[in-house]
Amino acid sequence: MRSRFLITFLGSLFVIICSMVAIFWLLLFAINGQASSPVQLYKSVTQQKQITYDEQEALVTFRKIAKENPDDLMKPNIRQSIDTYEMKGLNIVIRKQDEILYHSPDLIVKSLIAHAPKFDTENIYTQGTIDNKGSLYRYLKFDFHFSDNDKGSVMILKQVNSFAEFLQRWGFIIITLILAIAVFLVILFNRSLNKAIIVPLRELSKKVQQLKEGKLEGKIEISTSKGEVSELAQEFEKLREALNRVSKENRKYEENRKELLSNISHDLKTPITSIIGYVEGLKDGVADTKAKQDKYLNIVYNKAKSMNFLIDDLFVFSKLDLQKLPFHFEYIDLKKFLVHFVEEYQLDLEQKDIHLTLQDVHLNKAIVRIDVQQIRRVLDNMIQNSVKHMNKEEKRITIIARQEVETVSITVQDNGAGMAVENLEMIFDRFYRIESSRNSDKGGSGLGLAIARQIILEHGGTIKADSKLGEGTSITFTLPLKENGDNEGNSISGG
């Protein structure tokens, strides 16, 4: 990965350089009216600048003196001619042997001695460039002999600013410096890249590998707190939290599944064992009288009915748990529905000496959207739960309906045995029974209130329980009221 980022960086540098070259050629085209080739550009930069008229005139003047009377170059009156040309920006040097007889004030003697061109009697090489204390000068030179036969030279110097000459002197240093800066930038970029991206990505890779191995507890954190890698780590942290939740839910579902299988096995095995025992008693002639035989058959029949109820509750609960139980919602008048339900149930409960009543508090035209059969199932399960735990001589069950602003609450209240506070939350769990052992003498599957809770949740309501040990239990659920204008044209009945 690091090499990829480095290649990307170098590629970016290459693109920038190419862009700069293209801009340079465009500027040349705009200035010159044509795009010069590299050879033409090199020639225009490196070619020697044309000698000015003043330089030529000065050379002709001093060359004439050197030819006709060279000793005049050593006389004071020569300063008049020298001053004339120095005022035009030229520099004059007169040399005898290795001694500098005269030099313009801008020039350094030691540098002139060190860099002055060699004596050339034939005057073949009469022009060139010399360095004088870091400054470049173009020179025109004429060599001659004084009267005493000593070698002499007169030089006309003009300071130049040639790009080629500058590169000849400083080019290697500049190129070295540019390369050093480029290497430094690459190293700096590499370190920055390593700190900001490579190291965090390695840390993130280790954390993701732990996720792959199923280690979902450790929080995903990296050394950097900002940038794209940090945002990526935060997204992976959200993924880890989601996977952790799903994993915990799956473990919980697996535990519930095992518990469900265990409870089903127990609750089916108990009545089946009982049925087998009574049937064997009938086969072996233990029930030798008509009364005993009828008793055995009634017990077998009741046990079979209990198994049928259990299987029916299991079917309904599994459908609810998988959200595959179909609901047929309709708008009804809740008061009419409850009145009709209580009237039907009163007859059955009177045979068990249980008094069932309905109390409605401001229940005026409370229209609710429900599945009638499923809400009947909820009320039936709640009443059957109350019936199982009746232990008073005067047995009472009261259905109380209260209308609120946006909801209506329905409470099934009894005066039975009640239960401890710590059991209240668990009574809505599947197969939960208050008895310490799982005997089914009192009947029921242990799924009634669990089914009731699932149905109420599907209706958009809530359900809770309240109880006092020895005084009775109240189970309350809520249903949302119909909003004005909803479902106009639907029939409204009392169920």
Burial class (CB in 10 A: 0-12, 13-18, 19+), 255: exposed
Which pLDDT band holds residue 396 (cuts at 50, 70, 90)? very high
pLDDT band at 492 (very low <50, low <70, confident <90, very high): very low
Nearest to 42 by CA among 128, 163, 206, 143: 163
pLDDT digits (tens, 9 = 90+) for 66-84: 999 999 999 988 999 999 9
Over residues 276-315, the pLDDT tens digits come to 888 888 888 888 888 888 888 888 888 887 778 777 777 7
Mean pLDDT is highest, among 36-45, 316-325, 419-428, 442-451, for 419-428
Q: What gap in Å lies between CA 365 and CA 410, rounded to an integer?
A: 15
88 Cβ contact list (under 8 Å, min separation 6): 54, 58
- In 322-417, where does DSSP find H-type helix? 334-350, 372-388
The pLDDT score that the predictor gives to residue 239 is 84
pTM flag (> 0.95): no
pLDDT given for residue 32 in this prediction: 53
Q: Look at 27 and 302; give whichever has higher pLDDT.
A: 302
Higher-scoring residue by pLDDT: 226, 46 = 226
Confidence at residue 26, expressed as pLDDT on a 0 to 100 scale? 62
Please tell me what DSSP assigns to residue 322: T
Contact 433, 263 (CB under 8 A): no
pLDDT in tens, 427-474: 877 666 555 444 444 545 567 788 888 899 999 999 999 988 888 999
Residue 38 β-bridge partners:
none
Q: What is the pLDDT of residue 439?
A: 45
Residues in the chain: 495
The whole-angstrom separation of Cα 295 and Cα 59 is: 150
- 8 Å CB contact between 217 and 244: yes
Burial tier of 190 (Cβ tally within 10 Å: 0-12, 13-18, 19+) = middle
Across the range 218-240, mean pLDDT stands at: 75
Question: Residue 163: its pLDDT value, please?
Answer: 55
**Which is more confidently placed, 8 or 199?**
199
Which of 20-24, 105-109, 180-184, 247-251 shows the highest mean pLDDT?
Answer: 105-109
pLDDT reported for residue 305:
78
What is the distance between the alpha carbons of residues 194 and 200, in angstroms, rounded to a whole number? 8
Tens of pLDDT, residue by residue over 88-124, are: 989 999 999 989 999 999 899 998 888 889 998 888 8
* pLDDT at residue 485, rounded to an integer: 44
Euclidean distance between CA atoms 85 and 52, whole angstroms = 12
* pLDDT surpassing 70 at residue 224: no
Look at residue 298 in the predicted model and tell me its pLDDT.
Answer: 87
The whole-number average pLDDT for the span 39-47 is 51
Contact by Cβ (8 Å): 149, 127: no
Q: Give all strands (DSSP E) within 265-421, no chain letters.
A: 330-333, 354-361, 367-370, 395-403, 407-414
Q: Decide: 87 and 93 in contact? Cβ < 8 Å.
A: no
* Band of residue 220 on the pLDDT scale cut at 50, 70, 90: confident
Q: CA 65 to CA 60: how far, in whole Å?
A: 9
Q: Which residue has the tokens 């004005």?
A: 484
CA-nearest of 475, 457, 479 to 407 is 479
